[in-house]
Structure 1
């Protein structure tokens, strides 16, 4: 007979697999169904084409938030001056990269105080071809970085111009550290610090300032940059480092975000040196905050965020209702599509056909480049 520890481990793994299945299947099935609509609105050069794509994809982020918060009970605590966040403005969000899943969890902040429809993420280039999820990221016009400055410089410029062309103001989540914090990356960061006479960090990695400086200057030129959001993420009781931890059900019990909001006129953007200095100062502050946070055993007492208690309750209520509606809608979508594929041969072959077309577009052109070419 299995002991209680074995039963608990099996339950945890089932929870993790179920969460991953909901997220991945909804992304795959959803994009396969909506991709003909996406192509149609762009092919017709409708002025609201970008709005349609972003609106549908933002419901997936709401689904994700509802799944890990409401269904799995992950507590999200948000501290700082979130009342200053402008949900309608163009902004860059800089976040320390503690785990490979930070981008997913940050959607909780964006759902409450930012705009999920404007929400864009900077990701590794290898993720753009992931079936379903990668295709949706391309269609949403996420920024894929190749870790080659000559290529990335041009991608940043193209990224900003694509939103300028459709008069859309993105809110871009960017990881200046370049990779998540693990023993190997921390060791490399500390060696870099020693070589360049910089402070040694233990809770963050030294940020790469070149890409961030280019982002700031390019977004100022093309997208009317209004704010830079300094966000710090911490995990008080458990860390879900990567996808293998997610599948094992090793989910964080609580996630804490500390938010500081800066209007662009508070930053010296006249030179790359000024922008770099600003970013490096924020990372020193992150190291100090996280050191105190973890040494105090992850104390996450709720602090003032600029809103009243009633306003915060209203924000939580709206977020809960939106998430529940999107969760119900996407699960219904998965069930209906699965049923149609199984019982109807025409639906089956149509689904296969669209999947093959999507694979070809993703591989040889990219939905982001295709949509931009259509509108140009």
Structure 2
């Protein structure tokens, strides 16, 4: 098994699921015939009544929609900076991007609180720290590409939070499905953020992707421009293209048969074209590719997390995963074959087979590999090389960032109107 720099725990694993017929009122959402059907929900019974769920839905929607509208309005207020001063425009949009991260982190903390367990291989030793207050901090580079397997729809929230722990949450860029461009408020907001929309048609995707990547290689001198002149950039890519489910599993099996290679056990086969192009375009401006393997406690072996941890179950019923588990590795860009597409495809498949083995260990033992030699009580790292924390804000006063520009704008408008009214009296 090719688990790099990992330590296999040899204790008896804790049961991930109690296999029992579902009791009335538990409200399983699994589809018939699924490996998860007929299995008691791993987070237990529904914690909130139907009325409470309606209240929670209203509160969550109010929080999210009001915040998104405020952020989008803030973006429009700052849009003229694009023609006035590009340096300040990109810094301004980075601040609005920070605001959206704050919305996601706060909402998840309030409505779907869960434990996060993080480990890493020895190549990342020293880059993780737990503060005395229990929050995780990371010291990842200012510019990188980071990859992840894709299991549930809200995965990007946890990965955006990782950027927050490095104070890079205003500099994240994500490759997204083209259809998301047309979601009201969110779509235009993500366009302001410089997110990259992909139609999965390479002839049309390539020029669009090249245009966006050229912008990510540009240099600015304004605030938040980075220590090396190049803007900080965390480019998040899901090489699988979509989340793991019963339907996408079938597609992966067909693709494996077409390519004449074995399919994965716990993953979808990755597609290499987009990532290969991104690395070719950015290889002179980044040193590392970071890789996250993510899993959710309670997902049975062979099961599909989206069928268990839906937005309803996690945010409304009070049944999020008991823990979100992450294992981090990194690879030097200089070690990745970027001159030949076939060699790169083989490289990526090999990395994904390693991830598959890592997930096999997780399903068997309930733990990812770790680096016990990095244990440090002063840095909050346990003796077995893990950090256990929760997804939360460093300071709840950060929520004020969402509305400060609107408040200042309203104040200015109010002053202008009063001056105009006063001036009109003398005309």
Q: Which residue, 244, 251, 254 being the options, matches 1:191?
A: 254
**Counterparts of 2:244 and 2:389 in 1: how far apart (Å)?**
34
Q: Partner residue of 2:289?
A: 228
1:173 and 2:245 aligned: no
Q: Partner residue of 2:377?
A: 309
Cα displacement (A) at 1:304: 4.7
Q: Which residue, 277, 286, 289 being the options, matches 2:358?
A: 289
**Counterparts of 1:306 and 1:59 in 2: how far apart (Å)?**
33
**Counterparts of 2:165 and 2:388 in 1: how far apart (Å)?**
7
- Written as runs of structure 1 = structure 2, the 5 A alignment for 1:83-94 is 83=126, 87-94=140-147
Q: State the TM-score, normalizing by the size of structure 2.
A: 0.68
Q: Partner residue of 1:357?
A: none
Cα displacement (A) at 1:146: 0.8
Q: Partner residue of 2:158?
A: 105
- Written as runs of structure 1 = structure 2, the 5 A alignment for 1:209-288 is 209-220=272-283, 224-237=285-298, 239=305, 243=311, 245=313, 248-249=316-317, 250-288=319-357
| 8 Å contact kept, 1:230–1:282 | no
Which runs of 5 or more residues in structure 1 are unaligned? 345-376
**Counterparts of 1:319 and 1:308 in 2: how far apart (Å)?**
21
Cα displacement (A) at 1:247: 5.9
Cα displacement (A) at 1:302: 7.2
| 8 Å contact kept, 1:203–1:291 | yes
Cα displacement (A) at 1:260: 0.3
1:37 and 2:92 aligned: no
Structure 1 or 2, whichever has the larger Rg, is: 2
Q: State the TM-score, normalizing by the size of structure 1.
A: 0.76
Greater shift, 8-17 or 169-178, is seen at 8-17
Seen in structure 2, the aligned counterparts of structure 1 residues 17 and 225 have a Cα distance that, compared at 3 Å, is: farther
Greater shift, 212-221 or 164-173, is seen at 164-173
| 8 Å contact kept, 2:168–2:232 | no
**Counterparts of 2:346 and 2:356 in 1: how far apart (Å)?**
16
| 8 Å contact kept, 1:123–1:145 | yes
Seen in structure 2, the aligned counterparts of structure 1 residues 79 and 13 have a Cα distance that, compared at 3 Å, is: farther
Match of 2:85, SS?
Answer: coil
| 8 Å contact kept, 1:26–1:334 | no
Seen in structure 2, the aligned counterparts of structure 1 residues 46 and 210 have a Cα distance that, compared at 3 Å, is: closer
Q: Partner residue of 2:69?
A: 28
Cα displacement (A) at 1:235: 0.3
Q: Which has the higher helix share?
A: 1
| 8 Å contact kept, 1:24–1:133 | no
